[in-house]
Amino acid sequence: MSEKSAALTDTLLKQDEILSGLLDITLRQREALKEGRLSDLQNLMSEMRHSSVRAQAIETKRGRAAAEVAFELGCDAVVSEIARRLGGDESAAMEEAAKKLMETVKRLKMEMSIFSRLMDEAKTLNEMMIAEWRRLGSKATGIPTGVFDTMI
């Protein structure tokens, strides 16, 4: 049993590592947005897509590993239940890895929420600026918005 439970613990730690990378990318995206570095933001979006694929793959692996251990222990594939049935050092290591992962997930959700709100605010500001630019342009030329004067 220790081989499969050790694999689950290792997978939890690897998942934390990957999600910590996503957290780092999210923080860099927020800074790039705040500073108006659009080319950096595009590169970070590409990094985010790549890391998200890795995160999905490790989530699938974690689910399989938890299911295997849970099946052998005769319990649900929930880390707290698995750890309770294992006991000893295996249990402590698994619980610590799960705790670390949950803290990272919590931070990542918070940062992604902040970034999402900033993106919404930036979109709204851009829409307001475009509308004002069009309004000012039509006043200056006397041409209604969206219409071109073809008489010269």
Query: For residue range 68-122, what is the model confidence (pLDDT) as tens digits?
Result: 999 999 999 999 999 999 888 889 999 999 999 999 999 999 998 988 888 888 7
| pTM of structure | 0.77
Burial class (CB in 10 A: 0-12, 13-18, 19+), 79: buried
**Which residue is listed with tokens 């974690």?**
62
Average the pLDDT over 30-44 and give the result. Answer: 87
Q: Is the domain defined by 2-111 classed in CATH 1.20.58?
A: yes
- Dmax of the chain from CA atoms? 88
Query: Which positions ≥6 away from 85 have C-beta within 8 Å?
Result: 73, 74, 75
**Mean pLDDT of the region 48-57:** 95
